[in-house]
Structure 1
Amino acid sequence: MKKQILILPAIMFAVVAVFAFRALDKSGQPAPSALMNLPAPSIELEPIPRFAGPFDTGVPMGEVTLVNVFGSWCVFCLYEHPLLLQKKEQGLTILGIAWNEPPEASAQWLERHGNPYTMVGADQRGFAIAEFGVTGAPETFVLDKNGVIRFRYQGPITEKDWRRDFAPLIARLEKEEAAPAAAR
């Protein structure tokens, strides 16, 4: 009987491990978003006090755009923040979704660390991030010129990640023509 009791936790661990590894693709990254190659969800959020708004992902920007989910409570968000500031200075359009916190907390965090966002909105209840299928912060989506999700990245973006995953994709998407406004 004691052997059976000891074997049960090992079997349970094996089952959990199999499901965890199946959730990863061959690169070790989480499986891509179910929204891949579909228009980004149309989300309107209240703006963060003292920062640009209103926030609306439903209107394609006509340029390659990042949508970045962050929170002032998120240590890894602070880790990737300097890179986002740098990319904004280089002219990239970045939309920010402040997740699961009062708008004033987001405002104070952005004032302290800088604002990389063209527009930033508050998602206090998590409805917007649910529309995107976000599993945690930080999480970043690349939208093409027509507002279609072309890439999803979970976790903090490093310079290596940028060079490997983001830069080549953004360069390719920049060369594509945006659909006429009437066709969107």
Structure 2
Amino acid sequence: MRRFLLFLPLVIFLGIGFFLWKGLSIDPTELPSARLNEPFPAFEKASLTEPERMMTVADLKGEVALVNVWATWCPTCKEEHAFLNQLAKQGVTIYGINYKDEPVKAREWLKRYLDPYAEVVLDQDGKLGLDLGVYGAPETYVIDAEGVIRYRHVGAVDANVWKDLQRVMAQVAGGAGA
């Protein structure tokens, strides 16, 4: 028993070392989506641009598209906004979810920085974001024509990220899935 006690600190040290080593091999930017390959969550929320009109998940269906979660309080959202405008000009369908924001500020933002979105869902209370598993803005999802989530990107969309999103969108449009 005494011999075992002599080796106990070594065993503990090796155990802690293993878990630390294992933790270093995990990519902290890779956040799994609980909704991957599942239908976009059902919702009924007001349109940001037409507050009297209620939107549902049916408004997001029909083609392979991007869904971008954004807010005016998010500095990274401002950083990616010009690139989203470029994508929209190229014909990419982008739906917006205005996340935990003030509608007046969000509408002013879209007037000032232009509006790349086909439609914008107002998620003032954050419930839709919670149902999606949003960690924070910005987040961008690729959805297929039936409204199934095929890919998730956390962070700003730029030219490098667009290459990945474009590849996934092409796979989804071709029926290969992601």
Bin the TM-score by the shorter chain. Answer: 0.7 to 0.9
SS class of match (1:109):
helix
SS class of match (1:63):
coil
Q: How far off its partner does 1:101 sit? A: 1.5
| 1:170 corresponding residue in structure 2 | 169
Q: CA RMSD in A?
A: 2.7
Query: Which of structures 1 and 2 has the bigger CA Rg?
Result: 2
Q: How far off its partner does 1:167 sit? A: 1.1
Q: Percentage identity across aligned positions?
A: 36
In structure 1, stretches of 5+ residues that fail to align are 1-13, 178-184
- The CA distance in 1 between the partners of 2:154 and 2:107, in whole Å, is 23
SS class of match (2:166):
helix
| 2:67 corresponding residue in structure 1 | 67
- The CA distance in 1 between the partners of 2:66 and 2:56, in whole Å, is 13
- The CA distance in 1 between the partners of 2:159 and 2:53, in whole Å, is 28
- The CA distance in 1 between the partners of 2:82 and 2:52, in whole Å, is 19
In structure 2, stretches of 5+ residues that fail to align are 1-15
Cα pair distance change 1:59/1:48, threshold 3 Å: closer
Q: How far off its partner does 1:158 sit? A: 1.4
Query: 2:150, 2:172 within 8 Å by CA — same for their partners in 1?
Result: no
Q: Which amino acid aligns with 1:132?
A: L
- The CA distance in 1 between the partners of 2:85 and 2:64, in whole Å, is 16
After TM superposition, the score normalised by the length of structure 2 is: 0.79
Q: How far off its partner does 1:143 sit? A: 0.3
- The CA distance in 2 between the partners of 1:134 and 1:123, in whole Å, is 12
Query: 1:59, 1:147 within 8 Å by CA — same for their partners in 2?
Result: no
- The CA distance in 2 between the partners of 1:62 and 1:22, in whole Å, is 42
- The CA distance in 2 between the partners of 1:131 and 1:72, in whole Å, is 21
Q: How far off its partner does 1:166 sit? A: 0.6
Query: 2:70, 2:139 within 8 Å by CA — same for their partners in 1?
Result: yes
> What do residues 75-108 of structure 1 show as CA deviations (whole Å, max 9, x unaligned)?
1001111111111112222111111122111100
| 1:159 corresponding residue in structure 2 | 159
Query: 1:50, 1:107 within 8 Å by CA — same for their partners in 2?
Result: no
Task: Tell which deviates more after alignment, 116-125 or 168-177.
Answer: 168-177
After TM superposition, the score normalised by the length of structure 1 is: 0.76
- The CA distance in 1 between the partners of 2:173 and 2:70, in whole Å, is 25
Query: 2:31, 2:154 within 8 Å by CA — same for their partners in 1?
Result: no
| 1:45 corresponding residue in structure 2 | 45
| 1:8 corresponding residue in structure 2 | none
Q: Which amino acid aligns with 2:74?
A: C
Task: Tell which deviates more after alignment, 91-100 or 48-57.
Answer: 48-57
- The CA distance in 2 between the partners of 1:172 and 1:41, in whole Å, is 22
Counting matched residue pairs gives 159
Task: Tell which deviates more after alignment, 50-59 or 102-111.
Answer: 50-59
